Amino acid sequence: MHVDISVDCSGHFGCCTRCVTWRRKGIVHFLLAIFTAMNDLFTRKSRIIITCNSRLSPWLTQEMMELGIEIERSFLTGVEALGTLADCIPLNLRLRAASQILYSLDTFQAEHPDDVYEAVKKIAWEDILKDDGFFSVTSNVQHPTINNTMFTNLRVKDAIVDRIRDSKGTRPSSGSSAQGLVVHLFWKDGDAEIFIDSSGESLARHGYRKIPGKAPMLEALAFSTILATGWDRRSPFVNPMCGSGTLAIEAALLATNRYPGLFRNNYSFMHLRGYDDTLHQKSREEMEAAVNDQVDLQIIASDNSSGAIENASLNALAAGVRKKIRFEVCDFAATPIPATEKGVIFFNPEYGERLGEIPELTEKYARIGDYLKNKCQNYTGFVFSGNFDLVKKIRLNPARKIEFYNARIDCRLFRYELYSGSRRKDRQDPVQAEPESGDVASDPS
């Protein structure tokens, strides 16, 4: 069902010159009436920037489309939409590839930190912050006058504190913790924009992983790579070398319709003046009701480290999907492969940046190639790696190479079609070809 929840913009913050309908699949429409009782930011449409780690925006775009949310624009590190702070609540609870959900309060021109101070002080912070509230300031600044964003953050903080002291005679507390309300400044060249960061702590960590293990994938990255495999969320998903289990757990969460908001109780939006928890609670209840444990899944995760499997199993328990994953302690080549007409087998081996030594890894990558070719017919094979020389040792022709970053390491997700008689790469160099069109995130304009 598509419901129109558009609200007329009065231009209060000079932000909504392009009010359009935000059509949604019935996530927050149920309580339009209560919006009016809340801070009017909860009913006022504005620009929403949803940030993500570099190269994740195609997957963030895909999940937003699955949630039925219209996107105005996408760029390398995020997407733009229109909506209210009330709209930000279910997005914070549900989005898996996102980092921060930023709601625009105002845009202005700035050539000096004093311009930022003056513009920020004009905003009615006494209507935004709770009397006993705590806030912090973050920023993304690229301006020749600034070589330390701490200074800019301090100017923003001073403007907010001075505004509230002048209007109410009280002084809100502030610091660096993201546990309270977070205010975000974007300032590039002469253009500045001030946001409520409705998330606070990054959404890219999904809250269930208590024991990280060695070289774990960030949850938002693991989720995005799973979307990139095109896994149908029902056929077998096999993850040898699972480490802390992030990929298997994210696959189980996706297939059983469990969202990260089930594992988190504090967001920045909860610290806004006039915040009413009804909407958050209702969103949570909807998520709980949507969990589908009836699905018949074959998710297999293995590692040759018993400690890793112990951690992965505890992490899966915390995520509520322990019973959906079969864990095995074994060499990857002994991982059981269910007979199937189609399935995904996903390796994230060490690639010599943080773990492992190259000669040992060379042999390991060659064995991964043998295993994919000889044991995984009818599956689509995926190898996520940041060492393309090692990937050549797999000696299979990748059908696609999809670009990602793991922290700052340039990585690829290599895709191999493994039907019987899978082509062995003997002479060609599989990683010389450029990524296919559509495999690379578009640059921001």
Ligand X SMILES: C[S@@+](CC[C@H](N)C(=O)[O-])C[C@H]1O[C@@H](n2cnc3c(N)ncnc32)[C@H](O)[C@@H]1O
Question: Position 396: which residue type?
Answer: L
> Which of residues 76 and 215 has its CB atom nearest to ligand X in the complex?
215
**71 is an interface residue for ligand X by CB under 6 A:** no
Site string for ligand X, 13-52 (x = CB under 6 A): ----------------------------------------
Site string for ligand X, 207-226 (x = CB under 6 A): ------xxxxx---------
**398 is an interface residue for ligand X by CB under 6 A:** no
Angle at 31 between CA 51 and CA 134, to 5 degrees: 50
**243 is an interface residue for ligand X by CB under 6 A:** yes
**91 is an interface residue for ligand X by CB under 6 A:** no
Kindly list the distances between the CA atom of residue 81 and the CA atoms of 47, 90, 102, 440, in Å, as whole numbers in the listed order.
Answer: 6, 14, 10, 21
- CB neighbourhood size of 70 (10 A): 14
**247 is an interface residue for ligand X by CB under 6 A:** yes
Q: How many residues form the binding site for ligand X (CB under 6 A)?
A: 21
Q: Which positions ≥6 away from 148 have C-beta within 8 Å?
A: none
**313 is an interface residue for ligand X by CB under 6 A:** no
**308 is an interface residue for ligand X by CB under 6 A:** yes
> Which of residues 78 and 216 has its CB atom nearest to ligand X in the complex?
216
Binding residue for ligand X, selected from 118, 126, 331, 439, defined by CB under 6 A? 331
CA 262/CA 287 separation, integer angstroms: 8
- CB neighbourhood size of 57 (10 A): 26
> Which of residues 176 and 306 has its CB atom nearest to ligand X in the complex?
306
**303 is an interface residue for ligand X by CB under 6 A:** yes
78 beta partners = 51, 75
The DSSP string of 20-74 is ---EESSSSGGGHHHHTTS-GGGTS-EEEEEE-STT-HHHHHHHHHHTT---SEE
**385 is an interface residue for ligand X by CB under 6 A:** no
**305 is an interface residue for ligand X by CB under 6 A:** yes
> Which of residues 159 and 251 has its CB atom nearest to ligand X in the complex?
251
Taking CB under 6 A as the binding criterion, the range among 168-176, 200-208, 240-248, 388-396 that sits at the site for ligand X is 240-248
CA 79/CA 163 separation, integer angstroms: 31
**348 is an interface residue for ligand X by CB under 6 A:** yes
CA 347/CA 256 separation, integer angstroms: 22
**440 is an interface residue for ligand X by CB under 6 A:** no
Binding residue for ligand X, selected from 63, 87, 193, 350, defined by CB under 6 A? 350
**107 is an interface residue for ligand X by CB under 6 A:** no
**53 is an interface residue for ligand X by CB under 6 A:** no
Taking CB under 6 A as the binding criterion, the range among 23-31, 195-203, 261-269, 299-307 that sits at the site for ligand X is 299-307
- CB neighbourhood size of 326 (10 A): 16
Kindly list the distances between the CA atom of residue 416 and the CA atoms of 69, 337, 378, 380, 400, in Å, as whole numbers in the listed order.
Answer: 32, 16, 11, 6, 7
Q: Is 166 in contact with 73 (CB distance < 8 Å)?
A: no
Q: How far is CA 44 from the centre of its chain?
A: 25
Residues of this chain that bind ligand X (CB under 6 A): 213-217, 240-244, 246-247, 303-305, 308, 331-332, 348-350
